[in-house]
Structure 1
Amino acid sequence: MQHEKPDAQWVEDNFWKWLSHAVTLTYNLDKKQPSDAADVTAFISFISDLILRPMAETHAARDQLTLIEKVNQHLYENATQDCFLESCAQCATIYLQLREENRLTINYSAQDQALNYLQDIWREQFSAVNS
């Protein structure tokens, strides 16, 4: 089923906020905050299904569509912090591959902040596990 492709500039203006929000929900799982695994799964699924999938369908990007399916499958099979962080990283990678830079005003500052935030939480998560 094909989904309507959202406006590319609107996606660019919001994608890094959504990614940071998904990372925050994941981080808060460990901090006993009100978010739970279902919230994280739903939010990452929103990014992959309603944002990335239509972009990939428009580009006929079969490799990215396969990756999106793997992200969703991984989310539902392994509802853990590690899985959620991996899924966020995969969504960012897929988005960067699909993004049409030549027609967008790219917010590199938001992109860098979101990716650095993901890396920081990832490092914190794995240093806690390895301690």
Structure 2
Amino acid sequence: MVGVAVGGSWLEQALDAYSDLDLVLALDPTQAENLMAERPRVAASLGNLLECFTGEHVGEPRLLICLYDEPLLHVDLKFVSLPDLAKRVEDPQVLWQQGTLVSDILRVTPVQLPPAPDLQWLEDRFWIWVHYAATKLGRGELLEVVSFLDFLRTTVLGPLLAQQHGAPVRGLRKLEQTLPAAALVSLQSTVATLDRASCAGALQQAVATYQQLRVEISPPAFVAKTHVEGRALAYLAEVATA
């Protein structure tokens, strides 16, 4: 291991009693493969480790997600071969390094921020998603509708609202602190209970919120798929009033 750095809430000076720690462990590339196999042992050497598992479910197999005790603390350990530090979404704070190996990489390579939401990509899919949700509503699969609404908030509405108001684009995280009250009310109206009328109303509110955002932030070359939109909305209205 040639360095340790910390990111996440630490960098924002926003740590609180509920924060986790995001640590980056920089590995000598000649030893990286062997150390990746030893990750649980490394994690156990750092404290009273209760359990750990790798991060394939979030698309990051290099990540080891750990829960320590005394105190009870969530720690993400990202094991990264030193050259791979060039590809990162933030500049972590270096806590320890051999010489200047880590800081040299950070100094000469730029942060690669996550891309902004692609409104055209979302528009090309949104109305088929709405039709899908309407079929679940019609069939009475309300748990599926509730789950789908969460998908829309996380994938579409939350990122677009964050972009509109200059907040970091990261799903729904911290939107309660970064969005104005009116935007939060529109999101709140898309939260449904396990009731058919509630699900129908929340779906229609999600559609209305998306349509408003589309008007306010669409780029010049944006193409609205109105032919699909009209049919999907008519179908949703038919199902909602059935």
For Structure 1 versus Structure 2, the TM-score category normalised by the shorter chain is 0.7 to 0.9
Answering whether residue 102 of structure 2 is matched by residue 8 of structure 1, we say no
Alignment check: 8 A CA contact 1:5 1:58 kept: yes
* Alignment match of 1:89 (pick from 192, 204, 209): 204
Unaligned runs of 5+ in 2: 1-113, 166-178
Structure number, greater radius of gyration: 2
Of Structure 1 and Structure 2, the greater strand share is in: 2
Deviation by residue 1:54-83 (Cα, 9 ceiling, x = unmatched): 1011111632333113322xx1xx211111
Alignment check: 8 A CA contact 1:57 1:65 kept: no
* Alignment match of 2:184 (pick from 60, 65, 74): 65
| Stretches (4+) displaced over 6 A | none
Inter-partner Cα distance in structure 2 for 1:101 and 1:89: 24
Inter-partner Cα distance in structure 1 for 2:185 and 2:115: 19
Deviation by residue 1:69-114 (Cα, 9 ceiling, x = unmatched): 3322xx1xx2111111101100110000001164311111011011
Aligned twin of 2:227:
109
SS in 2 for 1:25: helix
SS in 2 for 1:6: coil
Normalising by structure 2, we get a TM-score of 0.43
Relative distance call for 1:68 and 1:21 in structure 2 (3 A) is: same
Normalising by structure 1, we get a TM-score of 0.76
CA RMSD after TM alignment: 1.9
Alignment check: 8 A CA contact 1:4 1:54 kept: no
Answering whether residue 143 of structure 2 is matched by residue 28 of structure 1, we say no
Of Structure 1 and Structure 2, the greater helix share is in: 1
Alignment check: 8 A CA contact 2:189 2:202 kept: no
Q: Percent identity?
A: 23
Unaligned runs of 5+ in 1: 30-35, 125-131
Deviation by residue 1:19-41 (Cα, 9 ceiling, x = unmatched): 11111111111xxxxxx332211
Equivalent residue pairs, number? 112
| Counterparts of residues 29-48 of structure 1 (less than 5 Å) | 29=140, 36-48=141-153
Deviates more, 1:110-119 or 1:95-104: 95-104
Relative distance call for 1:101 and 1:82 in structure 2 (3 A) is: farther
Relative distance call for 1:8 and 1:102 in structure 2 (3 A) is: same
Alignment check: 8 A CA contact 2:153 2:187 kept: yes
Aligned twin of 1:79:
194
Relative distance call for 1:24 and 1:69 in structure 2 (3 A) is: same
